[in-house]
Amino acid sequence: MTWLSRLLPQSPRLPRLADHNNRTRQAQRRRRMSTLETLEGRTLLSNVTTLVAHSAANGLNTLTITGDTHNDEFSVTANSNGTVTLVGTPTNPLLPKLISTQINSLKVGVSYTTTQAISVINVILPGTYPDTDSISMTGKGSLASVTINVQPGGTTTPSVIEGPELLLSVNALTVSGAFTVNDANTTATSVGGLLVATVDNSNFGSLSIAQTGCCNANVELGNDTVPGSVTVNEGRAPNDVIRLDAPAVGAALVGPGDHFGATVLKQYTGTLMPASSNNWGDGDEIYVDYAQLYDLTTSQGNGVDQSLDVGNSPVAGALVPDDVELSLTGFGLNATQGDSSSPTLATTPGATAPYPGAPLYSPDTIVIQSITMYGKVSNSMVLGPPNITTKQGNGASDSTTIDSSTVAGNISAFQGNGAGDLVHLADDVAGWTVPNGPYYTTDMYGFVFISQGNGYNDSVVVDSNGSEPGVNPINSFNTLVILQGNSSLGIPVDCTEPLGDVVSIDQAAITSDLIIIQNSTSTSTDGTNLDLPGATFTDGTGIGANVVSIGSNVSVTVGEWTRIFQGGANNTVVLGGASGYDSGLTDFETTYLDIWTGALGGGTVYAANTTVDVGSLPAPGPGNDYVIDGGADGNTYVDLDGNSIGGASGPLTYNTNHYSG
């Protein structure tokens, strides 16, 4: 019988017919029909192999897990007795029986467990796009280290452009040493693929995740404890995400948050650019919430619409604090963004303009919020006390907010050239003081420096409009220095009333000095020495039209010297006025005051409820007796009453040789 005959049912014998007519027999014969068994829907099986090797040198057993070049989907469990179990997992969680990955060629769905306790796990994932490898890991065994390597094109000689996509889920895994994921470019022509990694409720000695290359990376770390270093590097594709948090359940953040050592979070790393993108780094996001970190470095590259948020919870209605605690012995927090666009215009459509006639753009943002400290003060601060430092490159309307934060060190915010940039400090505290004899104190850190480049209508705002009212009821610094450029970049073509830079300070207690420099040729890069009486400045080349306002909404006190220097023409200074005119209260008080309103004239100074305890700080002599001074004609001083200088009521002194208003 042939193989085909076996598939076809046999016809019953027919009775002999009297006429033996062959044609009649054929007509009566039943037609033989095939009855093939219905075939199951099947997918191409993947086979993951394992190898256990024992090291005589250290006595450790290493488990090497090697995927194939298809879609590998499996789980790894570190058992309490030290063994490790692998099993294929469903491709689709809605179809739990649909498993396409075998372990060591065992039957699909059959698990494999090592016979020996495992200390080291190495996972090798070869393949190319569009292959997708899905791995889940859990367990509290005896693991000393775990390494996952994505190897585009093969296990030894990567040669393709794009590696497989990796979906990694780690939950409640304990590793005493390093947990490492390497999904980065391995040669000049081979790169990692897309990476989506969630690591929650786990304990490691150290943690490193690196992804560069063609595609997005999305890494979330929640409720993890890592006493050693934590590093996450993502590549140059747009819309990458790094998130440190307590995983959200509904509208609440649940769990203890992350507890890490020195932490580095970087985007826009590596050297290879995605061929399909013209603005690498666009839309990148970094979020750090509800975490205790030794110190923190975050950075993003060039691109528009980037956001870098620390302590600014994106979970609406979060029911637990989203504070980020920094160690008293760490360096604190560094947050850096590259150039968001041309300093004079941005080209990304869909955003709003910072002023009428300005081009549309999507600016970069930095928000530092709810920073506190942990640990004890000691004689050796190691790298501390912690500082907050932010840096943004050239680009229109970039913004930095430092809000409701307390550090024992200093605060610095730097912005490059760009129109409409903003730095906002609200309810912040920096540094402290110690007694120095019966009448004096010594400043300990607390130096706050804000620097903005040459850009039209940049602004600095210091107030108490913070996100957490009552945390710090007032801004408290030892010294505040603000340095703004010449407002020459990004001026609208149809601008008929040029706007210079703006500084507004309210609800602040400054122990020593307040120095504000607008449109000057000063080349200071860190703000040091700008508060020295011997420091001199000359007018810059900008348009002027700068504005300084102190105590106009809420009172401000300065323990030592307030110095305001404005270059150009048509500048304005407003002192006091928060309580109205001649209220009997003090809206702005400083021991010394010196104001220069520009060499080109047209300056205006308003004062209400302002107290200058002594007068001008420079040594007595010609030109040093005046609190207010300026060049050329057309300057105006407006006394709005309630002012006092040197203990006597009356107007602030000004140089009549220059002022003719």
pLDDT in tens, 563-602: 999 999 999 999 999 998 888 899 999 999 999 999 998 9
**Contact (CB, 8 A) for 475 and 429:** yes
Q: Is residue 581 part of a domain?
A: no
In a 10 Å sphere around its CB, with 0-12 CB exposed, 13-18 middle and 19+ buried, how is residue 357 labelled? exposed
pLDDT at 101: 93
The three-state secondary structure class of 6 is: helix
Largest Cα–Cα separation, the chain: 148
In a 10 Å sphere around its CB, with 0-12 CB exposed, 13-18 middle and 19+ buried, how is residue 332 labelled? buried
* Least confident span in 12-21, 112-121, 278-287: 12-21
**Contact (CB, 8 A) for 337 and 367:** no
CA–CA gap between residue 339 and residue 417 (Å, rounded): 9
Q: Is residue 16 part of a domain?
A: no
**Contact (CB, 8 A) for 14 and 22:** no
Return the H-helix or E-strand segment holding 402: strand 399-403
Buried b / exposed e over 444-477, threshold 16 CB at 10 Å, is ebbbbbbbbbbbbbbbbbbbbebbbeebbebbbb
CA–CA gap between residue 314 and residue 243 (Å, rounded): 10
pLDDT at 379: 60
pLDDT confidence tier of residue 378, bands split at 50, 70 and 90: low
SS (H, E, C) 614-644: EECCCCCCCCCCCCEECCCCCCEEEECCCCE
Q: Is residue 285 part of a domain?
A: no
Q: Is residue 437 part of a domain?
A: no
Vertex 413: Cα angle to 572 and 488 (nearest 5): 45
CA–CA gap between residue 587 and residue 577 (Å, rounded): 6
What tokens appear for 156 in the block?
Answer: 């030894």
| Of 260, 404, 233, 243, nearest in space to 315 by CA | 243
Q: What percent of the chain has pLDDT over 70?
A: 80
pTM over 0.85: yes
CA–CA gap between residue 534 and residue 515 (Å, rounded): 13
pLDDT in tens, 272-322: 655 544 456 788 999 999 899 999 999 999 888 899 999 986 555 554 557
pLDDT at 153: 65
pLDDT in tens, 485-519: 988 777 776 666 778 999 999 999 999 999 999 99
Domain range spanning residue 95?
A: 44-215
Q: Is residue 642 part of a domain?
A: no
> What's the average model confidence in pLDDT over 136-162?
79
SS (H, E, C) 501-532: CEEEECCEEEEEEEEEEECECCCCCCCCCCCC
- Torsion angle defined by CA atoms of residues 516, 519, 525 and 529, in that order, rounded to the nearest 10 degrees: -50
CA–CA gap between residue 440 and residue 393 (Å, rounded): 40
What residues does 241 pair with on adjacent strands? Answer: 218, 285
CA atoms within 13 A on the CB side of 359: 21
Vertex 314: Cα angle to 309 and 320 (nearest 5): 105
Instruction: Please count the structural domains in the chain.
Output: 1
The three-state secondary structure class of 170 is: strand
> What's the average model confidence in pLDDT over 637-661?
79
Count CB-CB contacts under 10 A for residue 655. Answer: 17
pLDDT at 31: 35
| Of 599, 602, 452, nearest in space to 539 by CA | 599
The three-state secondary structure class of 3 is: helix
Q: Is residue 580 part of a domain?
A: no
The three-state secondary structure class of 125 is: strand
Q: What is the DSSP letter of 27?
A: H
Statement: residue 168 has pLDDT above 90: yes
CA–CA gap between residue 165 and residue 162 (Å, rounded): 9
Q: What percent of the chain has pLDDT over 90?
A: 54
pLDDT confidence tier of residue 438, bands split at 50, 70 and 90: confident
Average pLDDT along the chain: 83
The three-state secondary structure class of 206 is: strand
| Of 192, 194, 236, nearest in space to 219 by CA | 194
CA–CA gap between residue 658 and residue 661 (Å, rounded): 9
Return the H-helix or E-strand segment holding 486: none
pLDDT confidence tier of residue 102, bands split at 50, 70 and 90: very high
pLDDT at 490: 73
Q: Is residue 84 part of a domain?
A: yes
Q: Is residue 564 part of a domain?
A: no
pLDDT confidence tier of residue 650, bands split at 50, 70 and 90: confident
CA–CA gap between residue 150 and residue 212 (Å, rounded): 11
